[in-house]
Amino acid sequence: MKNILQVVMTILFSLFFINKNNAQYSEFGVGLGFSTYWGDLNGPSFGTNLTKNSGLALQLNGRKLFSKNVGIRASFSFGNVKGNDANSTIDWQQIRNLSFKSSLVELAVMGEFYIFGFDTEPGSSIFSPYFTAGLAGFRFNPKTVYRGNEYSLQPLGTEGQGMPGFRDKYSLYNISIPFGGGAKIILSETMNIGIEMIIRRSFTDYLDDVSTNYVNYDDLNAGNGTLAANLGNRMNEFLGQAEPVQLPTGDQRGGAKVKDYYFFSMVSFNFMLTDSKGKKRFGRSKVNCPSF
């Protein structure tokens, strides 16, 4: 993790030393799309995750281009994600019967590389694809519904967190490495539309409150309370049993080796603030004639 962060920060820091005599475009944008979860409560396919594990997302972003190919952006994003074992076609996952939903609030800084360059001047290409990567901090808060009521899962310690001999309760704040790409369609000298999908590799496995092993029902009940025990093991609900399923402490509940992912898929409307010479541009507009 430390090495990854060092590489990302080096790339972002180096952007500030690119020749300032090159393009100096800056812009402000508003994005609308959806955020998607990828983790222990996955569906059977990528398509299922997109349709079942996604929620509405909003984004504000600002960009600065130091050349026609290289720039930096900062973004503030809000989204919702969810996951449910009921969406799986795998028997053991359906029997596990866990589910969650969470809001996401994220602040990210990313470098951008425009493959063919970005230029809003008349006669330039109206299509500009790019790659991006950076560093983000985010807050999450997994919740679930039980008997008609919604509960936050982190305070409960559903995997024994906070009990003697177990880990502390996980933090609701974490960092992620965003990476992905998109493309801009330049409508005029002052406006463009962006389409992108950017994956976030987080450094937590508790986005969904599922990571390691079960704790025996009676032990968890004694240590963290009945609600934690009921939500830590929900097999009996799927099986139609009144009594809890008694599993020994240490039986696998999740997969701790792979951290959770989330990603934002966005359509953004971006407004140019300055032109390639750094002069104010917003309010001027010339529609670009298509050029590829």
Domain-located, residue 235? yes
Task: Report yes or no: 248 and 216 within 8 Å, Cβ to Cβ.
Answer: yes
Domain-located, residue 120? yes
Per-residue pLDDT, averaged over 51-63, amounts to 96
Count up the domains in the chain and report the number.
1
Domain-located, residue 222? yes
Distances (CA, A) of 34 to 77, 103, 212: 11, 12, 28
pLDDT of res. 292: 46
Percent of the chain with pLDDT over 90: 76
pTM of the model: 0.87
Domain-located, residue 172? yes
DSSP secondary structure letters along 192-246: EEEEEEEEEEES-S-TTS--SB---HHHHHHHH-HHHHHHH--HHHHHT-SSPP-
Domain-located, residue 284? no
pLDDT of res. 123: 74
Per-residue pLDDT, averaged over 251-258, amounts to 94
Distances (CA, A) of 173 to 29, 153, 204: 26, 14, 9
pLDDT of res. 3: 60
Domain-located, residue 280? no
Q: Which domain holds residue 249?
A: 2-16+32-270
Q: CATH no. for residue 37?
A: 2.40.160.20
